Amino acid sequence: MRIGEPRAARRLTDPAYLRYQYADDERLRVRIETHRRYSENPASFTDWVLARLAVTAGDRVLDVGSGPGGYHAGLSRARLIAIDLSAGMLANVGVPRAQADAQALPFRDASFDRVLCAHVLVHVPDIPHALHEMRRVVRRGGRAVIVTNSRATMRPLFDMQNAIAVELGIAEESSVAARFGLEDVDVVREVFPTARVDVYEDAFRFAAAEPVLAYVSSTFVGLLPADTRAAYLGRLARRVEAVIAREGVFRVPKRSGCFVADV
Ligand SMILES: C[S@@+](CC[C@H](N)C(=O)[O-])C[C@H]1O[C@@H](n2cnc3c(N)ncnc32)[C@H](O)[C@@H]1O
């Protein structure tokens, strides 16, 4: 943690916040389900990522920070191992798994054909070190795919949330890529010189406020004192409903993607 780092960035690596978010998969599943139900891009993001991982039968694949294993159904032909810092996240993962830190992978050098690391590095205190660890365990000729969001993602929602936070005097900023985003290609290329950036454009389309409130409640907002949280969500509901009344839909552009790094 660096002095002067924005609060949203500090929260992303705060152990207490990580326990709240990831002790089990309940909150993450709310967001995964929101993406599944309310995204306008008909192409599945999971399939888009897996196409870039380009696994062939029998490949040794490591999923770093696997969470509940959202990519695993598409990797059934691989010899897959999942690691995550949270034992609770791994509870229902049906492939060989280990509780481990992305900054200290418990594997020998060059022991994997492919490494996947999806939406994890924002939470890792020493991102370059985790990148070096991934580089270390990929064999020559192998590939790492590192998935993250753009700092530009979900702006209409985050702008609304940040305005509400100011109104209520809450020193919390909304952002999902404050520490690591698609813009950080230079950080990745320090370790994987050939890394390229592939971008996946999408948008949420909300015709009612309820799924927006569920999504937001699964973030730091769920930790606010009950009366502040109620005020926050009430204000958010009114703003979202006003957009829907005016425009028919609350559309929230999303930009995410991955670094594809051949070794
Ligand atoms: C947003 S979830 C992503 C889960 C999964 N990769 C996906 O895309 O659905 C972030 C995951 O990273 C894990 N995580 C956070 N810090 C980690 C670390 N230092 N090492 C390994 N996993 C970590 C969390 O426990 C959580 O399961």
DSSP-assigned beta bridge partners for residue 88: none
Q: Which of 61, 84, 89, 175 to probe ligand 1 with, by most ligand atoms within 8 A of CB? A: 84
Judge contact between 48 and 211, C-beta under 8 A.
Answer: no
Residue 55 DSSP code? -
Atom of ligand 1 lying closest to residue 124 CA:
19
Q: What angle do CA 137, 140, 144 make, to 5 degrees?
A: 55
Q: How far is the CA of 229 from the centre of ligand 1 (A)?
A: 26
Q: Which of 38, 28, 36, 22 is nearest to 205 (CA)?
A: 38
Nearest alpha carbon, ligand 1 atom 10: 120
Percentage of the chain beyond pLDDT 70 is: 98
In the structure, what pLDDT confidence band is assigned to residue 5 with cuts at 50, 70 and 90? low
Q: How far is the CA of 86 from the centre of ligand 1 (A)?
A: 8
In the structure, what pLDDT confidence band is assigned to residue 207 with cuts at 50, 70 and 90? very high
pLDDT of residue 211: 98
Q: What is the pLDDT of residues 210-237, one digit of tens each?
A: 999 999 999 999 999 999 999 999 999 9
Domain ranges for the chain: 7-151+175-202+256-262
Fold of 7-151+175-202+256-262: Rossmann fold (3.40.50)
- What is the three-class DSSP state of 186? helix
Instruction: State mean pLDDT over 53-74.
Output: 97
Q: What is the pLDDT of residues 80-114, one digit of tens each?
A: 999 999 999 999 999 999 999 999 999 999 999 99
Atom of ligand 1 lying closest to residue 117 CA:
6
9-48 CB burial, b ≥16 within 10 A, e <16: bebbbeeebeeebbebbebbebbeebbeebbeeeeebbeb
pLDDT of residue 1: 37
Distance from C-alpha of 219 to C-alpha of 157, rounded to nearest angstrom: 13
pLDDT of residue 177: 76
pLDDT exceeds cutoff 80 at 256: yes
* Residue 188 in contact with ligand 1 by CB distance below 6 A: no
Q: Can you give the pTM of this predicted structure?
A: 0.94
Q: What is the pLDDT of residues 40-49, one digit of tens each?
A: 999 999 999 9
pLDDT of residue 10: 85
* Residue 22 in contact with ligand 1 by CB distance below 6 A: yes
Q: Of 15-19, 187-191, 196-200, give the lowest mean pLDDT range.
A: 15-19
Q: Which of 123, 132, 220, 258 to probe ligand 1 with, by most ligand atoms within 8 A of CB? A: 123
pLDDT exceeds cutoff 70 at 24: yes
Nearest alpha carbon, ligand 1 atom 15: 123
Q: Of 7-11, 38-42, 137-141, 172-176, give the lowest mean pLDDT range.
A: 172-176
pLDDT exceeds cutoff 50 at 248: yes
